[in-house]
Amino acid sequence: MAETLRFHYEVDGNNFTSAGAASVEVKRKLRQLGFDAETIRRVSIAMYEGEINMVVHARGGSADVYVDKDCITIILADRGPGIPDISLAMQEGYSTAPDNIRALGFGAGMGLPNMKRYTDEMKIETVLGKGTTVTIKVYTNGANKL
Amino acid sequence: MTVLGLKETLNLTVFALPQGERQVRGGYAGDLLSWVMGKAEADDAWLTIMSNPNIVAVATLTEVSCIILCEGVSPDAGVAALAAGKEINLLGSDSSVFALAAQITNLL
């Protein structure tokens, strides 16, 4: 059994220009590891949405990526305000993003729905005033270099 | 059709063209980045009026073959260089999104 690869990223909450940098880096690593294109696309899009959520709502956070032969797990953790109503946040089109964020093209209310759509498992743990941790998993077909 | 072929045929402005030989197999139009992330397909031409640096990350992750800024929009400062550095084709057109989408549809 191959060892789990782990990558850790700090997501800068004050820099929209670099938002997505961790996702792009993970995409590059997964390609090097020989994962198929669809798996890479699903993982990187879901992670990007998580990154953007942390920048928009929580002034940044951290992303830990665990890569196994059969599964890629990403844990996105922030110390933001928490999510008052998860079922509402999961509805497509629902967003609490401010106008200045919407002007950049974010805040479509598709972040969490996209994360769910592109992953096999998703778990949201949130405490108001403390922060949110989102864990997503994508199962692979095992065809890679691990 | 290649991105370079699209540029020549439609007389598009070049802001960055590091991979002109990439194939265009479809298209997507939209400005809401998460919407584009969820809907655009690899090898699409992405038509938008959004010109900030985040479009480069979205193009990288969705694997669209090019971004085309419509309606005469220019990229924000530094975005063309960012696109070139990330191997993303960034083009421009004075046409509306609607008109350009129609033209591209006829070419594919």
DSSP string, A88-127: HHTSTT-----HHHHTTT--SS-HHHHHHHT-SEEEEEEE
Residue A36 near residue A145, CB atoms below 8 Å: no
Determine contact: A104 vs chain B, CB below 8 A: yes
**Chain A residue with the nearest C-alpha to that of B63:** A41
The CA-based dihedral angle spanning residues A103, A104, A106, A107, taken in that order and rounded to the nearest 10 degrees? -20
CATH code, B42: 3.40.1390.20
Beta strand pairing call for B90-92 and B13-16: antiparallel
CA–CA distance, A55 with A49 (Å, rounded to integer): 10
Mean pLDDT of chain B: 96
**Chain B residue with the nearest C-alpha to that of A49:** B34
- Identify which of A24, A1, B75 has the alpha carbon closest to the alpha carbon of residue A9: A24
Chain B residues whose CB is inside 8 A of the A117 CB are 38
The mean pLDDT of B80-102, rounded to a whole number, is 97
Q: Which residues of B43-72 are buried (b: 16+ CB within 10 A; e: fewer)?
A: bbbbbbebbbbbbbbbbbbbbbbbbbbbee
* pLDDT, averaged in runs of 10, over chain A (146 residues): 87 85 94 93 94 93 96 97 95 91 89 94 97 97 82
Provide long-range contacts, Cβ within 8 A and 24+ apart, for A38-42.
A39/A72, A39/A138, A39/A140, A39/A141, A41/A118, A41/B42, A41/B61, A41/B62, A41/B63, A42/A118, A42/A119, A42/A138
- ipTM of the assembly? 0.81
Chain A residues whose CB is inside 8 A of the B33 CB are 52, 104-106, 108
**What is the set of domains in chain A, with CATH numbers?**
5-139 (3.30.565.10)
CA atoms within 13 A on the CB side of A85: 7
B1-28 pLDDT tens trace:
999 999 999 999 999 999 999 999 999 9
Q: Show the domain range for B10.
A: 3-107
Q: Torsion-angle region of residue B63: left (phi > 0), alpha (psi -120 to 50) or beta?
A: left
CA–CA distance, B88 with B81 (Å, rounded to integer): 10
* Contact between A48 and B57 using a beta-carbon 8 Å cutoff: yes
The number of distinct structural domains making up chain B is 1
The mean pLDDT of B78-104, rounded to a whole number, is 97
Residue B40 near residue B27, CB atoms below 8 Å: no
Determine contact: A57 vs chain B, CB below 8 A: no
The mean pLDDT of B79-107, rounded to a whole number, is 97
**Chain A residue with the nearest C-alpha to that of B33:** A105
- What per-residue confidence (pLDDT) applies to A3? 83
- What per-residue confidence (pLDDT) applies to A17? 79
CA distance B3 to chain A (A): 21
CA–CA distance, A3 with A5 (Å, rounded to integer): 6
- What per-residue confidence (pLDDT) applies to A1? 52
Q: What percent of chain B has pLDDT over 90?
A: 95
